[in-house]
Each structure stands twice: as structure tokens, then as C-alpha cells.
Structure 1
Amino acid sequence: MFKITFICLLFNINCCLSDPLQEVFAWKQITYKIDGVVYNKNSDYKKTPGGFHFMEDVEEYEKFFIQYNNIPIGLEVYGKKVFVTVPRRRYGIPSTLNYVEISSNKSPALRPFKNSHNLISVYRPRIDACDRLWMVDTGLLEIPGNRTQVKQPSIVVYDLKTNTQIINYDLKKSDLINERSSGGLTSITVDVTEDNCDDAYAYINDLATEGMIVFSLKKRDSWRLNHPTFVHDEMSLNFTVAGYVINWKDGLFSIALSEPDANGDRTAYYHPLVSTQEFSVNTKYLKTGSIAENGRLEGSRGNNSQSGSHDYHPGSKTLFFANVAQDAILCWRVDNKMAPENIGLVVQDHTKLVYISDLKVIGDEVWVLVNKIPIFVYSTLNVNEDNFFIHRMKVQDLIKNTPCAEKL
């Protein structure tokens, strides 16, 4: 027992005997229920209950549902409703913004969210303190060999109390660098308080052309920020996931916000996917477009700490990282110095955490969506086993016996 404890302390690993992962959903392949029709196998056409459907040959790009091509990417949680996005990165995606209800059914069919049929492609949405669901519609059919920009990328917001779309703001041409930029708009972080809902800011990553877009709801205006800290680190390339070498040169990937300070501003923590470093900036500089001399290096998370999504838990002052390079979740308490010895590996699973595509802190829990996407990109998913997961974990279970448990 002493030997196990020593190893846990040496490597900052949470060695609680119980598995903190609570499986909420698991799918071998994605299915849909649309207008009363269940789609659990390929379908060339959208079906009508009781209707006649004639068999005709159609081109792949015309097919309504190609089951294997449907890869979930993002999640959000609103009560018993869990939003699941499926960006249009291949043909045969019937709906990009969907939801399921938490129940005893561990593999439910996705249902398109109301009034979302005009959305082209959505990655990682975000619910704010005012019960609004924010997202970026990239407007891009991201089909390999046939990328098609259907519409201008836009910020889309729904009022979840009424399920109605209340904002659809087209990004300006000056927000984008070139035709690659739209495919990099894969997450949105919302800066607002529930007592001032009209004065919201949104921070959008651009991992493709390595920048950030800021949107002011009150001004109905947006602007682009560029900074060296948004750029991927060549020295952090070529990590492995599921045995495949990842050489994606993804820049700024995730932006997480602290609680507000006395002036109503926050610390924005951010990083490229291809980096082992964490950076920060006070949001007042994002709101004024003056990041130039104000972005700062917090430190290094250590080897193999390349991470995608991350989010902040105010109660424990802890950031949680989707550590894709180790099939793990990392933690860092932000009032401790960022250094490898202060980073905790809170959970690791080489089956159920193979590429954490999204991570959200919901109350006192961490939720993740896992999708094995490197296997989809470089090989073939085994459709006879679970490939896509949504897990939830209690924050206190995760940080127990790690450097994140207390201020050092």
C-alpha cells in the first residue's frame, strides 16, 4: 500500500480506488429520431411516417443519413437535456444541433433541436448564466476534397426558456483571415452575469488561422485579435492518440473564464491544442482589443499535456483539461504556480477517454464527450463496440489526493 501511495504522490495521480467516471451515455453508432421516424441505419432520403419511398440511386452528397459519418463533437447540459452536436465534416449528417434526455436509456437517438434546421455546422456550444445557448455556425460543409462555404460564419443564440432563436449575427470579413478560418471556429466562451444579460461578450477560438474573435452583444459588433500565444508550438507536434501520431497544427483551442473580479472583469485562461503551455489575459483587454502586451504565460503543464477543451470550477479555483495526449483529465488550481509538479492527473482511461472532444464544468461536476476521432480519421471505427461516450464526474472526487485539493 505504501508503494502505491508513493507512486501516486510522485506522479500527481489521483489513486482513489473507486472509478470517478460515471457513464451517462455510450453509443456504438449515432442514431436519430426525426419527426417521429427513427434512423438507425443508412437512409438515402428523409422519411415521412406512413409515406411511400421509391428506391432510386442517389449520389453520396445527396444522401440524408450515412450512419458511420456521424461523429459527435460537442456537448452542453441544461437540466435533464444534454445537447450533442454533430458538425458536417462528412456527407449524410441530418442534423448538427441535437439533444437527448437523461434517462435509463444509455444509447438514445439524437433529436434535432427545435428551430435548428437552418444551421450548417456547429461544434462546441455554450450555455450562459441567462439560460441562453450560444454557438458558432461555421457555415462550412467540411467535406475532405470538397469544402464548401454555404454561408458566412455566424454567432447563433437560442433562448432556452422558449426554445427560440434570438440572435443570428454574421461575422465580419475582417474577423476572418482567409477561407480556412471558418473551419477553425470550434468553440465559444460567454462572459456575462445573470443580472446584466444584455452586456455579454463572447470569445471564439480560431484554431485554423490561429486567432480569437470577440463579440459584444450590446454593441452588436465583433473584432479579431491576433497574438503569438494563440499560435501552435512546433515542439509539441506529433503526440499520439490511440497509437496514431497527431500532426494537426491546431492553434488557439479553448478559452476558460475565472469568476469576476471587483471590476466585473475575469481572467481568461487559454491554450493552443498543440502546446503544453497555458496563457492568460484579463478580459478587459479582450473587450478593448488591446491584448498586445497583456497576454502572459502562466507556465507549462509538462510533457504529454497537450489538451483540447478546458473549463474552470470556481468553488475549488481549479481548471480541468481534456488531456488528449494521455486519454486523461488534468487539473490545475489557479492560485498555485503552474508547473508540472502542481498539475494533477485526475483520471485516465485508455478505453473510455480516447480523445476527449469536449469538456464542461456543470455545477460541481465535470462532463466530457469522448469520440475516438483519430481512429475515425486515420483508420476505421469498430462499430460493434462503444465508440462515443458522455461521462460525468464529481469535482471533489477528481481533485482528492492531487495538488489541486488545496492551495500549496
Structure 2
Amino acid sequence: MADPFALQSFKKLLFLTMVTTILWSCKLLTAFAEEEGDPKFEVMYEWKAINYSWDSLDDGSAMRRYKNYIPINNAISGVKIWKDRAYLTVPRWRRGVPSTLNWVPICDAQQDPSCPRSPPLTPFPSWEMQEPGNCSAIQYVQAVEIDPLGRMWVLDVGRRNILSPLPDNRCKAKLILLDLEGGGRVIHTYEFPDRVAPRLDSFLNDLVVDVNGNSPDGSDWFAYITDSGGVPTLGGGIVVYSLGTDESWRVTDLTSMRARIPSSFARVGGSLAILAFNVDGIAMSPKGRRDPQVYYSPLGSRGLYSLPVTALRNSKDRSAAPFVRYYGRKKSQSDGMMMDSEGNLYFGLLTLEGMGVVNDTALESTNGEYVGEDMLFMDPERLQWVDGLGFDNDGSLWFITNRLQNLEFFNVDLKEVNYRLNRFRTGTKSYMN
């Protein structure tokens, strides 16, 4: 018979060995992380304050634009990649944003030491197209999409200074198609009617482009656009635009598209954030999927929902409630989201300062029981408020972090890094491929 005291001593020794091993493993991992950096994503550019290529102005408006520039009100929100450029949006939430649609060259500092760490933004397609108050120019851009034909779908909110007590509502919301191969030439402009995007309270936030058409020139493609505006608890909507017929309509659902009071407030980066906005993030199934879905989530909600494309196309100006699919609650509220060519849905997790992912095959096989997203990475310093996302053609996902919780309450500290353009290797491409 074994000695009970010896057995107890052996158990204690085994436990202490396990604890010591775990502690040393953690120490080694920490040392590796400090030495090598986070291997999962890399910061390509970072800014304490956003600046612009003022020297590209060749007329008398340079000084006027510079005088009206208020650095703390300039925050990068969206990103899309095309060839050797990253296109960045700077929404006109408040006064003092000289250019709302811009670009920077893609440059890898690890390969080229001459790459600037904080490059100035160059207005796109021109300074003239950025004139505030000129309704034929671009007024407020938060999101764009670039289709496989090299056309940029620019979503112009129209309204400016919407986080101010007196927003400027003189311009209607519109969708502008620009030819990137043609230097940003305007191909088409569509103004949304007030019944689809009310001029006084709409907030066209983000969009996806449905390339599941039969026309090789993309003339029969659609755009699906989230409208986060309106009274938070009464819901927003999804706006559908048909390029083929050049018309738009609005699809609503009170349950899935509205912000919810318990989720409309959160702590992000240690500070209070007000998230009382309706349907916000949007993503779409990869090209060629059977029964393609459009996934979405309000900013002020943790719920994840989808609507089949057929319902969006056929539910003109009415509720789509019978067709809504509910998958469950994400670990946190999220802002931007995007799906890749393999059906992986990526989105930020605001209160966790991280990035999550879930596959559409897993979503559709759950029968209403959410499988939960995988956490790709967390970083309480560099991943405060993951916003816009975009894929390049080399298998990487690019995304913005911008600390919007500080902009909300006038707490932007220009002595700290506030805005980052990050890159994460996925080995996949955009949902449109």
C-alpha cells in the first residue's frame, strides 16, 4: 500500500512543477512578444494629428483652407485599397475638416526605410471636389467601396457637422461613381430622394456592392447602404440602390436595425462612448454564394443579423421583418465589418479593443444558436475603436483604428498617437472576388 504522506508530497511537487512551467512559459512568451512585436497585425501608418498635402493647392484657397483646419476634428474612419494607394475617409463630423476623401501611397517601412510614418493626406479626386457647402462637390464621406472594375462608389452623406448642435443639412445625400483608372473622373452621380434618405436626419454610414450580376460591365450591380440616422430607438434602415435602373428604395425592420438602450453606452479605451446609432456595420456574402446574405449590426447593439439579397431587392419601401435572420449576440458592439472571399466575417470588438471573426458557413448552420466569434487579437493601446476595413489583392486585410470615443467628448490628445492604418495577413481577398 502506498504511503499517503509520500503521495501527498508527490502531488504538491507535481503542482508546483506545473505552476513553475506555466509561469516560465508566460515569461518566455512575453519576452518574445516584446522582442518581436505582435506577429498578427502590423501598424503601417500612424498619426497624432491628420495633416494634408497643402502644397498640392495651386490657387488662392490654400490659406483659407488651412485657416479653417481644426486638427482635433479630423479623424480617419474608412479605408479601401486599390493598387499602390490606400484611400482614406475623414468624415466631417464637426467643422474644420478640409478634405473628406483622400489617399496616401502604400509604403512598407520594413522594406523601405524612407517610408514616412505619418504621411500627409492628398485630397481625391481634387481639392476642388472637397468644397464645403457646394452641393455638387463631395461633402461628407465616411465609407467608400471599390469594385473589381476599378470604380469607386463614394457614399456622400451630404449633411455636415452632425455631431454639432447645428448640423448643416443643405445638401442631399448622394452616391458618386469615380473611375480610378481615369484619375477619379466622375462616371455617375445619383441623389437620394428625401423619402429614401431624409435630408434632416439620415446618416448613410457604410455600404457593400453586390457584383452578382450578368452584365460584364457591372451595369446591373446593386449597392446596399446602412442608414444609422433617425431616432435611435425607432430604428434606421438599409437603402438599396440599383445601378441598372438608377433608383433607390428603403428597407426597414424595427427589431434588428435599431439601437438598444443597454448597448448604447460602453467603455472603450477606458473612456465612456455613446453608441446610440442604428444599423451601422454591413458585410456581404462572397461572390457566387447560393442565397447570398447581407449581414449587419447596429452600433448600439450586440446583435448580428442578415437579410437575403432577394429580400432587399424585392422589399421596396417596406418592412423586411419576415426575412430577417438573427444569429445571436457578439462579444461586444462593433463598428466596421467586412467579409472576405472565403466567407470569413471580420469586425472590431469595441469594448474589448480587439478584432473578431466568424465564418458564414458556421453562422448558417447554427439554426439560431450563435457559435460565437473567434478573437483574432487584442491590444488595449493600438486597437481602440476598430472602424473601416478593406482588402488588397495580395491577401491582406487593412483596417483603421481611431479612438472615436475621445472625439465624441473633445478629449483628443494630439501628443499621442490617435489614428492607425493597420494590416493583417489573411491569405484571402474581398467578398467581391
TM-score norm. by structure 1 comes to 0.82
How far did residue 254 of structure 1 move? Answer: 1.6
- Please tell me whether the aligned partners of residues 312 and 361 of structure 1 are also in contact (alpha carbons under 8 angstroms): no
**SS of structure 2 residue aligned to 1:235:** helix
Please state if 1:356 is matched with 2:386.
yes
Percent identity, please. Answer: 24
Please state if 1:157 is matched with 2:177.
yes
Please state if 1:23 is matched with 2:43.
yes
Kindly provide the CA deviation profile for residues 268-309 of structure 1, in whole angstroms up to 9, marking residues without a partner as x.
11111122221112101111126331111122224xx11111
What residue number does 2:122 align with? 111
Match of 1:190 among 209, 215, 222: 209
Gaps in structure 2 of 5+ consecutive residues:
1-17, 27-35, 108-114, 131-136, 231-235, 429-433
For 2:52 and 2:346, the matched residues in 1 are separated by 31
Kindly provide the CA deviation profile for residues 241-265 of structure 1, in whole angstroms up to 9, marking residues without a partner as x.
12222333211102211124476x5
- Please tell me whether the aligned partners of residues 46 and 64 of structure 1 are also in contact (alpha carbons under 8 angstroms): no
Give the count of matched residue pairs. 365
What residue number does 2:10 align with? none
What residue number does 1:47 align with? 62
**SS of structure 2 residue aligned to 1:286:** helix
**SS of structure 2 residue aligned to 1:336:** helix
Kindly provide the CA deviation profile for residues 161-210 of structure 1, in whole angstroms up to 9, marking residues without a partner as x.
102011110001110356111xx211121111583510110111111221
Please state if 1:326 is matched with 2:326.
no
Q: 1:75 to 1:260 in 2, by over 3 A?
A: closer
**SS of structure 1 residue aligned to 2:141:** coil
For 2:333 and 2:413, the matched residues in 1 are separated by 26
**SS of structure 1 residue aligned to 2:362:** coil
Please state if 1:123 is matched with 2:142.
yes
Match of 1:299 among 318, 328, 336: 328
Aligned pairs for 1:247-262 (under 5 A) are: 247-261=274-288
What residue number does 2:273 align with? 246
Q: 1:256 to 1:46 in 2, by over 3 A?
A: same
Gaps in structure 1 of 5+ consecutive residues:
8-15, 39-44, 49-57, 398-408
Q: Which stretch has the larger CA shift, 306-315 or 137-146?
A: 137-146
Q: Tell which structure's C-alpha radius of gyration is larger.
A: 2
For 2:294 and 2:370, the matched residues in 1 are separated by 20
**SS of structure 1 residue aligned to 2:53:** strand
For 2:41 and 2:80, the matched residues in 1 are separated by 17
Larger helix proportion of the pair: 2
Q: 1:18 to 1:63 in 2, by over 3 A?
A: closer
Please state if 1:376 is matched with 2:407.
yes
Q: 1:114 to 1:178 in 2, by over 3 A?
A: closer
- Please tell me whether the aligned partners of residues 362 and 371 of structure 2 are also in contact (alpha carbons under 8 angstroms): no
For 1:384 and 1:79, the matched residues in 2 are separated by 32
For 1:359 and 1:108, the matched residues in 2 are separated by 19
TM-score norm. by structure 2 comes to 0.78
What residue number does 1:345 align with? 375
For 1:367 and 1:216, the matched residues in 2 are separated by 28
Please state if 1:201 is matched with 2:222.
yes
